Structure 1
Amino acid sequence: MKMKSLQDALYNWLTIKVVSDARPDDTAAKETVELFEEILVSDYHLANIEITTDDVMYYVSFLQEGESKKQRFPREVIEVILNQINDEPDKYCNFPAEEEE
């Protein structure tokens, strides 16, 4: 899966990462984060990806081919999916990994 732009890939990764961090038992969210991380690394050559926040923004800093870069995203945009899940949790059940015996 190839994202149209680095910004799209970071947006998708950050959106699901926020959900995954808030729902550590949600294996589908975790697997989706891993998929987008693979895209960021293999397609866009990112390393040392870090997230910081303030009241208004998420900041994603990273190295891309040795160059330090940073992008920012409004919290209200990134947290839309998490807010939907929190508002209607019965529509978004967790699917934890099946225990192996």
Structure 2
Amino acid sequence: MKLEDALFNWLQIRLVADARPDDNAAMDTVNFFAEILSEDHGLTHFEISKIDDSMVHVRYDKEGRSKLQLYPREAAEQLLSDIESNPKYN
């Protein structure tokens, strides 16, 4: 899995886990993607650093350098929106 894909997947499920703190499956999935980011891509730190009206800012450290990746907020929040709109998961 490419770094960009793993980081975006982590971001989407992180937003779900943050919005649904009792959702153990979401937290397990956050940990799964965190492991991929750490072990496969060498990231030592990654976090959602800011959410503004249109973008989600993800800051991460790789090889001693801090990097910033921006994602459209609507795309980042799509998984959460899909889960919340499905009565099966509520």
- Shorter-chain TM-score tier: over 0.9
In the TM superposition, what is the alpha-carbon distance from 1:75 to its structure 2 partner? 0.7
Partner of 2:82: 84
In the TM superposition, what is the alpha-carbon distance from 1:87 to its structure 2 partner? 2.0
Q: Normalization by structure 2: what TM-score?
A: 0.92
Partner of 1:56: 54
Identity %: 51
Q: Deviations over 1:43-101 (max 9, x none)?
A: 1111221212111111111110101111111010011111122222x2214xxxxxxxx
Structure 2 residues not aligned, in runs of 5+: none
Partner of 1:41: 38
- Separation in 1 of the partners of 2:52 and 2:70? 11
Higher strand proportion: 2
Structure exhibiting the larger radius of gyration computed from Cα positions: 1
- Structure 1 range deviating more: 44-53 or 22-31: 44-53
Residues 1:66 and 2:64 aligned together: yes
Question: Match of 2:73, as an amino acid?
Answer: R
RMSD of Structure 2 on Structure 1 (CA) = 1.0
Higher helix proportion: 2
Alignment of 1:17-32 (within 5 A): 17-32=14-29
Structure 1 residues not aligned, in runs of 5+: 94-101
- Separation in 2 of the partners of 1:74 and 1:34? 23
Ranges of 4+ aligned residues in structure 1 off by more than 4 Å: none
